[in-house]
Amino acid sequence: MTTSELDLRNPRIVVTGGAGFLGKQVIAQLIRAGAPAEKIKVVRSQECDLRQLDACQRAVDQQDVVIHLAAHVGGIGLNQEKPAELFYDNLMMGTQLIHSAYEAGVFKFVCVGTICAYPKFTPVPFHEDALWDGYPEETNAPYGIAKKALLVQLQAYRQQYGFNGIYLLPVNLYGPEDNFNPRSSHVIPALIRKVHEAQLRGDQAIPVWGDGSPTREFLYSTDAARGIVMGTQHYSQPDPVNLGTGSEISIKDLIELICDLMGYDGELVWETDKPNGQPRRCLDTKRAQAAFGFVAEMPFRQGLQQTIEWYRQHA
């Protein structure tokens, strides 16, 4: 194995969070790229508490590649309700796993970060070099800073120990099998569920957090997984890399599109006393394309339709 190109037919790969929404897609993409299913180890939170050092050590023992997806994460509501848990859980999982992987002689560590790490007022599109130009948006800051600390750790371990760790920054994800729990879901699944339940009840109005002005960028889960696997195969540099589409949509336009796709014509009531979150999110995706050829493929309307169809079948 070389540091620039990784043949996935050979290494033993552990995927933390491999049973989750993104993890299932990453495993499918690993197999599609040539990794034997029997060489992929899935670490599930129910069986392995990565906040504990011994669990991290067991997870990476005799493994060649670690893809760290596991996270304690949610939308604005969860960030407001449990900032301490989000900071502690994500920091302890990541930092102990990285150190355990280094001690175990792991060949490559792939850390999936978060765009919540970017400053609140980052020039659009967000370029990776802007990560340290300010403090994150307040409601996301504990989570974002905990995840950003892992980038510092990987760069430090590379400098001192020659440890090959990379850091990928996917934008907001969506797709079938997402988390639709209203207490912890992100904006797309939360809005889909809200519209679906309003239709079932016959409600003529739907409350929506904020004023609709913030913009967000969304990456279909299959595209995100493909980008992570491409980075695993072809990228071994210290600089962080964005994974996204390079296009943004306002929350107002998003909810109107969801209502259109779901056939709901009720009123939208904006709860302007609720937080908007970060004003804008849209990534510069040139580095991923140049470094390992990643370009998102799923058209947003089509991906949204498939997500809605999946939810309606499983609600």
Q: Which two tokens stand for residue 206?
A: 């739907």
Q: What is the pLDDT of residues 17-60, one digit of tens each?
A: 999 999 999 999 999 999 999 999 999 988 899 999 999 999 99
pLDDT value, residue 114? 94
Helix (H) or strand (E) holding 246: none
Q: How far apart are CA 314 and CA 194, in angstroms?
A: 15
Q: What is the pLDDT of residues 108-163, one digit of tens each?
A: 999 999 999 999 999 999 999 999 999 999 989 999 999 999 999 999 999 999 99
Q: What is the pLDDT of residues 155-166, one digit of tens each?
A: 999 999 999 999
| 235 given a catalytic annotation | no
Tell me the C-alpha to C-alpha distance, in Å, between residue 3 and each of 89, 109, 233: 30, 12, 9
pLDDT value, residue 4? 64
The secondary structure of residue 133, as a DSSP letter, is: S
Q: How far apart are CA 171 and CA 88, in angstroms?
A: 22
Task: Tell which residue, 158, 113, 154, 109, has the closest CA to residue 6.
Answer: 109
Task: Tell which residue, 278, 248, 274, has the closest CA to residue 136.
Answer: 278
Return the SS3 of 290: helix
CATH superfamily of 13-174+218-246+280-297: NAD(P)-binding Rossmann-like Domain (3.40.50.720)
**Residue of 102, 118, 135, 143 marked active site:** 143
The answer to whether 275 and 202 have CB atoms below 8 angstroms apart is no
Q: Band of the pLDDT at 2, cuts 50, 70, 90?
A: very low
